[in-house]
A and B are shown apart, each in its own frame.
Chain A
C-alpha cells in the first residue's frame, strides 16, 4: 500500500516521474474513467479552500467520487473519538483518504491505522507534500529546477509549504535565500538538515538586495496573530510586500509564487505582470493531485 505523507519520503526520480505524469494529464492525455468506482474520503480537520477543492476536482476528473464530513464539529471527533479510531472506521468506507489535521505527524499516524492509502494534505506546521509537488511543477513549467536561486519570503518558522519546498529543492542543487521577520526565521533544525544535504542558505534583510539574483520568489503569508498589535504587523508586512516597482529590477525569467491565500503580501498590480504565476500555481493543483491519486489508487 502506497501512502504520500512527506516529501522527504520521495527521492528525486520519484518526484520527476510524478511531475512528468502531471504534465501528461495537463495535456489531457489521461483516462477520464481511470478511477471510476473509487471513493476518496476527504478528512479535513482544518479550514481549506484550494487543497480540498482541488483534491475533489482531481478525483472527479478521473471518474471517482469524494465523500466527506462537513466540518470538524459535525464529525465524531467532536465527541472525543481518537484520530486512530476515525481512520480505522473511514478506511472501511473509502479506497483512499486525504487528510488535513492541526497536529504534526497526524497523517503518519493515520497511515499506521488505515487499511487504504493515505495522502497528507497538511499536518500542522509539518508537511504538505501535494503543495510542494505543485510548486515544483509550476517552477518546472518556466525553467529547469536544477540550480535555481529561490527566495523564501514571509513566515518561514510556521509555514509548512516553505519547509516542504526547501526540503525538496535540496534534491535539485537549488540555492536558498531567506527573508523573514525576526522570530519567524526558518527553524534551526531545518536549516541544519538542509545545509547537511549541501544546500547553500543565504539570509537577507531586504528583498531589494536579492531581487536581481533570484529566479523564483516564493512568498508566504505573515499571519497577523503572530504580532502583538496591528501597527507592528502592518509595519513588518509592508516591508515584505511585493510590488511592480520592486520587480522592475528582476531577472526576465523570475516567477512569483504564493501558496495562497494572500492578504497584503503581493500588490494586486503584480497580478498583471508576466512574473506572476500564483494563480497558475493554484490551477496546477488539479493535474498534480490527479497524478498523486492515480499513484496511490492504481
Chain B
C-alpha cells in the first residue's frame, strides 16, 4: 500500500518526458549536486524536474532528475558517479527508454573540481583545467599531490 502511494506520488511529482535523460537512483539529497555537476544553472531553457527524497524499496530514499531535450554523454554520466555511484541513466526518446546505463567512476576527472590548495598552479591564470586522479581514498590533484578525502561536492567548480 505504502509503495503504491509512493509510486503515485512520484508520478505526480515528476512527469514523463518525451525526449531527454532521466537520472534515477541518485543517493537521497544529492540531486542538486548532480545538477551542479552537469553544469545546469538557473538560466537553462529546457524543462528540468527534480524529485528528492522519494521513497525507494532498495535505497530507502532516492532522488530523480529529469532533463528534457538533452542526452547526457558518457563523460557527464561518469562524473555523477563521484557523488552517487548507484545512479542509473535512462536516455528517453519519444517517451520510451532508448538506452539504460549505469555510471562508472572515472579514473581521471578534468575541470570539475577546484584544488583546495591555494599554492597549487591549477589555481592560477594558467591555461589548464584542474586534473584529479580518482583513488579509493579520494581525489588526488595531479599537479600538487593534494588529496581531497571528503566533501567533494563543496569543491565542484
Q: How far is the CB of B138 from chain A (nearest CB, A)?
A: 9
What count of chain A residues pass the 8 Å CB interface test? 21
Q: Is A106 an interface residue (CB 8 A)?
A: yes
* Chain A residue, CB-CB nearest to B144: A104
Q: Tally inter-chain residue pairs, CB-CB below 8 A.
A: 51
> Within 8 Å of chain A (Cβ to Cβ): is B31?
no
Q: Is the beta-carbon distance between B127 and A105 smaller than 8 angstroms?
A: no
Instruction: Determine if A124 is an interface residue (Cβ-Cβ < 8 Å).
Output: yes
Q: Which residues of B contact A127 (CB under 8 A)?
A: 145
Chain B residues, Cβ within 8 Å of A112 = 128
Give chain A residues whose Cβ lies under 8 Å from the Cβ of B149: 189
Interface size class of B (residues with CB under 8 A): 10 to 19
Contact with A along B48-79 (1 / 0, CB 8 A): 00000000000000000000000000000000
Question: Which residues of chain A are within 8 angstroms of B120 by Cβ–Cβ distance?
Answer: 103-105
Within 8 A of B (CB), among A50-95: 82-84
Q: Tell me whether chain A's interface is mostly helix, strand or loop, or mixed.
A: mixed
State in angstroms the CA–CA spacing of A101 and B143 once bound together.
13
Indicate if A108 sits at the interface (CB-CB under 8 A). yes
Q: Which of B121-147 touch A at CB < 8 Å?
A: 121-122, 124-128, 141-147
Contact A8 B145 (CB under 8 A): yes
Q: State whether the Cβ of A287 lies closer than 8 Å to any Cβ in chain B.
A: no
11 A-B Cβ contacts within 8 A? Answer: A6-B145, A8-B145, A103-B120, A104-B119, A105-B121, A105-B122, A105-B145, A108-B121, A109-B121, A126-B145, A189-B149
Beyond A103-B121, A189-B146, 13 extra complex contacts between A and B, CB < 8 Å: A8-B145, A82-B126, A82-B127, A101-B121, A102-B119, A103-B120, A104-B121, A105-B122, A105-B145, A108-B121, A108-B143, A124-B119, A127-B145
B residues contacting A by CB (< 8 A) are: 117, 119-122, 124-128, 141-147, 149
